[in-house]
Amino acid sequence: MNKTLKISSITISLLVLLSGCASPFIHSNDNNQGISGELTVKPSGLKIPEQWSNSLKQLDASDNWLQSFNDPQLISIVKQALKHNFKLKQQALAVDIKKRQLLIAGSQFWPDLSASLSTSRRKNNQISNSSSLSLKSNYEFDLWGKLSANEQKANVEWLAQQANFEQAEQQLVVNTVNAWYNAIAAEKQLQLNQQRSKNTQQNLAIIESGYKQGLNSSLDVYLTRNELNSALARVAQQKQNVLLAKRQLEFLIGRYPDASILLTNKLVDIDSPVALAIPAKIIQQKPNLRASWYQLLASDAQLAFTHKQRFPSFSISASLSDDQQNLTDLLSPSSLAWSLLGNISAPLFQAGRLKNNEEIARLSLRQQEQNYLDAIYQAFSDVENAITAEKSLRKQALLQEKAKVNAQTAYKLSFEQYKQGLVNYSTVLDAQNRWFDAQSNVIDIKNKLITNRVNLNFALGEPLYRSLTKF
């Protein structure tokens, strides 16, 4: 099938749009005359910086960040998600649907051919038989390029759906990796809370023993028991959090969510550099931006189609028929009847329907232009925010590690001083809470660093699953 718009021409148009540091603004032709179904370029509007306003330690090239986690089990989980995720399968079917719609649009360039055969037997004064056979064909000439515009629209919509599928793949990888480490972080928080309750139980045993010996007050006993109950309640809550995190991960990989998945007990340290593509490059490689661009082309093709709907249509129709009493006598050369007819039809009065349909298509094109620009600047914002967040999280992680060490030392000193009668037990409880809160914060910050790095690579449009074939 001869496509009006080939994939290669789309790629060339996109590269022309993105060439240089200042990308042009796409603008549709506002005149009714000469609408061709193609976008004209206005060389001002969208400004793309040469570099990001923030910076990180960068690699010269990216070999796919997923390998840096060095976790074969995670790679296996991601592969399962790409193979079994239900929503991704829906996206794949949507691509097939768009492909079929493209084939339908291309079939309009071929003549229609239909056949009918009927036979009857009736009785009036005598029994009579009749049989008829007819062949009919109709073909519309695409003089104005109306059918071509419709096929072009179907073509770029198919390309847009393919880009949406690629975006869904990358989003699934991101969601799966984040869910994996969220579940690991939840388990580590559970282990921390279990250790907290165990530590409180040990303290309670020491305090109750001292109380029986008259060394501690009853207030200390009740405070410790209260702290133990709170710690056990946190353990129960965190167990629920672990189950929820595991079920979310199992749902993403298409498994029954029974929370039975086994996890590694490691939160990776994000200390490797990142490959920051220049701003102009992410417009080329981010699937959702390519999808938005194709939708813009589809809107332009729709405008061309609706404009050409107001032009006359030229078509020819042909028919071949035969009527006989006996079915075996059909197609006898002596009785065949045929006809050939040329048709011209043009809309004369539609009460403004065609004109308004064209104006709606024009407004939709402008709307899609703004949607495309919004998507680009949102992509830039996502990258800038992720770069800023990584810097902040790295600083927080460093300070939280120091806070954890200091809090642990303070707790040990306070408990020793309490046993010597130098401080009351509320000081010990406060120091203990600060210590465990600091450990919890370290786990939380590490997980946020992982999530932010994943989201940064996603915002840059990196193909997150490229390295899966290497495992």
Rounded distance, CA 35 to CA 305, Å?
9
Asked whether residue 439 is assigned to any structural domain, the reply reads: yes
Q: Does some domain include residue 432?
A: yes
Given this model, what pLDDT does residue 274 score? 76
Q: Which of 140-144, 254-258, 457-461, 463-467 is least confident?
A: 463-467
Query: Residue 402, exposed/middle/buried by CB under 10 A (0-12, 13-18, 19+)?
Result: exposed
Q: What is the pTM of this model?
A: 0.81
pLDDT digits 0-9 by tens, 235-275: 999 999 999 999 999 999 999 999 999 998 788 888 777 77
121 within some domain? no
pLDDT at 126 over 90: no
Helix (H/G/I), strand (E/B), else coil: 349: coil
Which DSSP state fits 20?
Answer: S
pLDDT at 11: 38
The residues, ordered by sequence, that sit 6+ positions from 92 with a Cβ below 8 Å of its Cβ are: 165
- 119 lies in some domain: no
* 184 assigned to some structural domain: yes
pLDDT band at 465; cut points 50, 70, 90: low
Has residue 134 been placed in a domain?
no
Could you read off the pLDDT of 180-209 as tens digits, one per residue? 999 999 999 999 999 999 999 988 888 888
Residue 46 pLDDT > 80: no
End-to-end CA distance of the chain: 39
Does the structure show a pLDDT above 50 at 80? yes
| 137 class by beta-carbon count within 10 Å (0-12 exposed, 13-18 middle, 19+ buried) | middle
Helix axes 146-212, 287-308, angle to 10 degrees: 150
Q: Would you state the pLDDT for residue 14? A: 39
Is residue 332 a part of any domain in this protein? Answer: no
Number of domains in the chain: 1
Range of the domain at 461: 7-110+145-311+353-470
Q: List the CATH number of the domain containing 15.
A: 1.20.1600.10
Q: Would the pLDDT of 19 be above 70?
A: no
Q: Work out the average pLDDT over 442-465.
A: 88
Query: Does residue 54 fall inside a structural domain?
Result: yes
Q: Look up residue 396 and give its two tokens.
A: 């927080």
- Alpha-helical regions (H) of 213-274: 218-252
